[in-house]
Amino acid sequence: MTCRIDRVVIGTGLLILHICGQITGKDVDLLRSLLEQERSVVAIDLKDVLLVDRGAVRLLALSELDGAELRNCPAYIREWVTRERAVINASGQWVEASEDTEGV
């Protein structure tokens, strides 16, 4: 299965990225690029995500720290994102990473 990302615009300035399938490998790079392009991303809908890798979890954690809302997040992904956020906060990498991924 592959990754599919649908861009849903609701009203003015409300954007949701709905993701289906897997977020692994080059899909992480694609999602990162989309997030960098979109200044108005307020939500990432993970309802139909079946599999993520560590890179995806890190990107989701950084996105959440940067203000994006993770909607319909499966429990195992939520737990992993929460742990990754704790690691990012403890190491102080968020400031560095957020500068590198500006707009995420």
Q: What is the pLDDT of residue 101?
A: 45
CATH of the domain at 81: 3.30.750.24
Q: Is the pTM of this model over 0.85?
A: no
Name the one residue in this structure whose structure tokens are 């957020």.
98
Q: What is the pLDDT of residue 91?
A: 82
Beta-sheet pairing, 41-52 with 69-71? parallel
Nearest to 69 by CA among 3, 18, 11, 6: 18
Q: What is the pLDDT of residue 62?
A: 94
H-assigned helices in 1-104? 26-37, 54-65, 75-91, 93-100
| Average pLDDT per 10 consecutive residues for the chain, totaling 104 residues | 89 88 94 87 92 96 93 96 92 54 44
Give me the domain span that covers residue 36.
Answer: 3-100
Residues 6+ apart with CB under 8 A from 103: 35, 36, 37, 38, 39
